[in-house]
Amino acid sequence: MQRALELAASARGATSPNPWVGAVLVRDGRVVAEGATAPPGGPHAEAVALAVADARGCDLYVTLEPCVPFPGKRTPPCAEAIIAAGCRRVVVAMEDPDPAVGGRGLALLRSAGVPVETGDGAEAARDLLRPYTRHRLTGRPYVIARFAASLDGRTATRSGDSKWITGEAARDRAHRERAWVDAILTGSGTVLADDPALTARPGGVAAERQPLRVVVDGRGRTPLGARLLREPGKTLIATASTAGAAWKQALTAAGAEVFECGDAEVDLNLLMDELGRRGILSIWAEGGATLLGSLFDGGHVDEVWAFIAPIVIGGRGPGAVGGEGAALVAEGWRLQSPRVEVIGPDVLVRGYTRAQLP
């Protein structure tokens, strides 16, 4: 199961809107085949493993419940393939939270006389598939709020200078995380201040698969010469109906997609619903204090990655998170299952803002 989880992690980010799953086929205590979910339209992890070796009399370890037939499904159901292959036993880490599957795969295997065990590796599988679970149960993406700040919580100096608060190692770590998510979200203020590329460049090299770039811009401020409009991949500008029509037309001509979701300002609820409909499972939110504050106030943030640098900026520099915030300390977003890592001279604090969805 540990190997199956490693295989699942290796496919993370390449399978959306499908879950990233790993499968290992074992005979007499020896691994005879393994597989990970292919990009959409390709075979699932179980099918990959079953195609490699004769599964008769084998045990199959898989990180997520095997799928079953349902309307709109494009690939053969794995539960039926497992039965046909003659597997001796199936060990499943977690039940599929998708209501279209939700226990039906396990029931189908058992009804065919295949013994099924569940729960081995469940905690690791649930952590790995948090974005998938969030999407399937709510229809919305899983949002990871990321910011880099000084010891006193500043993200820039009073003059607006913010390059660079954290070191190269922390910035590369952020790029490695960008490389697996489905979308990077920022605000027009960040576009104006930093002119970011919003691409994934782990190790300084542009990733082959680039996440969707999403800019929240209700007032039509994103310049036509913005760097992110010239980078590989797709850009979505989320704006309001009151933003200038000529500006929207010019952005479209520049290759961006313009999506109206609100009258005078961007409605984040409408935006999250739309991104969920598009099969976006995960979002890396790197906006400034205004956007991050709106995401927190709206209850959209599922996970936090805070890179803290050993520097004090002081003065009137902006803070990391704005918005209305909490009225009482007890009402703040205290992270669950927090983890602390030292990355070069900086410290990463990350954790979840809500309990894990069932």
Which residue range is the domain that position 19 belongs to?
2-128
Least confident of 102-111, 120-129, 213-222, 318-327: 318-327
Distance CA 207, CA 51 (A): 29
CB of 50 closer than 8 Å to CB of 25? yes
Average pLDDT over residues 16-27: 96
Give tens-digit pLDDT for 117-133. Answer: 999 999 999 999 999 99
Catalytic residue among 6, 34, 46, 117: 46
How far apart (Å, rounded) are the C-alpha atoms in residues 244 and 189?
17
Q: Which range (63-67, 192-196, 254-258, 308-312) has the least confidence? A: 192-196
Report percent pLDDT > 90 for the chain: 80
Asked if residue 197 belongs to a domain, the reply is yes
pLDDT at residue 234 is higher than 90: yes
Q: What is the mean pLDDT of residues 147-161?
A: 88
For residue range 37-64, list pLDDT tens digits in order.
999 989 999 999 999 999 999 999 999 9
Task: Evaluate whether residue 357 is within a structural domain.
Answer: no
Q: What is the CATH number of the domain that holds 48?
A: 3.40.140.10
123 plus 160 within the same structural domain: no
Domain-embedded: residue 358: no
Question: What tokens does 236 get?
Answer: 């979505």
Told to judge if 303 belongs to the known catalytic residues of this protein, a careful annotator would answer: no
| pTM (predicted TM-score) | 0.91
Number of independent structural domains in the chain: 2
SS3 content of the chain, % helix, strand, coil (to 5): 30, 20, 50
Q: Are 266 and 314 members of one domain?
A: yes
Q: Are residues 163 and 289 in the same domain?
A: yes
Confidence band, pLDDT 50/70/90 cuts, at residue 330: confident
For residues 4 and 121, give the distance between their C-alpha atoms in angstroms, rounded to a whole number: 9
Tell me which amino acid residue 71 is. Answer: P
